[in-house]
Amino acid sequence: MTENAQDPIYCLLFWEELVRFMDNKKPLPDVPSYEAVGLP
């Protein structure tokens, strides 16, 4: 994820999905869908 951190669009999309996911689930859930967030 380090190489993608330079992309502001990726960061915005990642955080938008992350916040939305965390809003629906518990903070830092250990489920496969959490790791799949932001992946192509």
- Gap between the Cα atoms of 7 and 38, Å rounded: 12
Q: pLDDT per residue over 10-24, tens digit each?
A: 777 788 887 777 666
pLDDT of residue 28: 56
pTM score? 0.32
- Torsion sign (Cα): 25, 31, 37, 40: negative
The mean per-residue pLDDT over the stretch 7-11 comes to 75
